[in-house]
């Protein structure tokens, strides 16, 4: 149980996929203009990354490794992620039309979100060898993505009322805020490993 809690905290805060590894920066900067859009995107990413992380773990464990095809990992993971997004889109459209209206805009963008592929690959790079660990890691990576994009959206909404110097308005101040936010999250890792 302690391992799962540490995996969850590590994935969501300490090793945040956006602010530590800089994966998923395009939607992080592009969709974080409004808080409601950022939360919608974060929720959709969390949902898809949990399913994709689970399916890629199963595919890797029970198909690629037994057939000695681990070298096809990247290609297979990309197909699994794209298929997952399409399946989620079809199921949500058919059974939950209101939820589809909320997620509909974000689902096609998720297919190309590198944070999802990164999460699926990190499951193996970090040595999570059970399905439960893979699911917890995938889910909390999505939670970390949501946390980062919602914080950024809140800061960007506050920036509309700030007196930003003219040369820094728009993209430059957004990048400065993202850099400061990344440094703040990297502080959670501590300085114990720096020598």
More confident residue, 191 or 30: 30
pLDDT over threshold 90, residue 98: no
Using one digit for the tens of pLDDT, what is the confidence trace for 47-94? 899 999 999 999 999 999 999 999 999 999 999 999 988 888 888 788
Q: How confident is the model at residue 195 (pLDDT cuts 50, 70, 90)?
A: very low
Using one digit for the tens of pLDDT, what is the confidence trace for 99-127? 777 666 677 778 778 999 999 999 989 98
Number of helices (H) and strands (E) in the chain: give both, helices first.
Answer: 9, 0
Q: What is the mean pLDDT of residues 16-40?
A: 88
DSSP single-letter state for residue 163: -
In this prediction, residue 97 carries a pLDDT of 81
pTM of the predicted model, to two decimals? 0.88
Integer Cα distance of 94 and 120 in angstroms: 27
In this prediction, residue 72 carries a pLDDT of 94
Name every residue whose Cβ is closer than 8 Å to that of residue 39 and which is 6 or more positions away in sequence.
Answer: 146, 149, 150, 153
Sorted by where each begins, the domain ranges of the chain are 17-189
In this prediction, residue 103 carries a pLDDT of 67
Select from 16, 5, 8 the least CA-distant residue to 188. 16
pLDDT over threshold 80, residue 26: yes
Q: What is the mean pLDDT of residues 6-28?
A: 91
Q: How confident is the model at residue 194 (pLDDT cuts 50, 70, 90)?
A: very low
What sign does the dihedral 115-103-105-161 (CA atoms) show? negative
In this prediction, residue 143 carries a pLDDT of 97
């Amino acid at each position: 149980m302690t391992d799962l809690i540490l995996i969850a905290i590590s994935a969501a805060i300490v090793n945040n996929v956006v602010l530590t590894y800089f994966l998923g920066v395009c939607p992080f900067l592009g969709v974080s203009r409004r808080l409601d859009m950022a939360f919608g995107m974060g929720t959709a990413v969390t949902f898809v990354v949990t399913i994709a992380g689970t399916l890629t773990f199963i595919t890797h464990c029970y198909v690629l490794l037994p057939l000695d095809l681990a070298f096809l990992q990247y290609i297979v993971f990309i197909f699994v992620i794209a298929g997952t997004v399409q399946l989620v889109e079809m199921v949500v459209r058919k059974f939950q039309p209101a939820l589809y209206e909320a997620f509909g805009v974000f689902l096609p963008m998720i297919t190309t979100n590198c944070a999802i592929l990164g999460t699926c690959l990190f499951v193996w790079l970090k040595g999570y060898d059970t399905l439960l660990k893979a699911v917890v890691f995938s889910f909390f990576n999505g939670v970390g993505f949501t946390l980062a994009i919602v914080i950024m959206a809140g800061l960007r909404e506050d920036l509309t009322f700030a007196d930003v110097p003219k040369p820094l308005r728009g993209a430059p101040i957004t990048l400065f805020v993202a850099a400061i936010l990344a440094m703040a999250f990297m502080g959670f890792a501590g300085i114990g490993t720096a020598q």
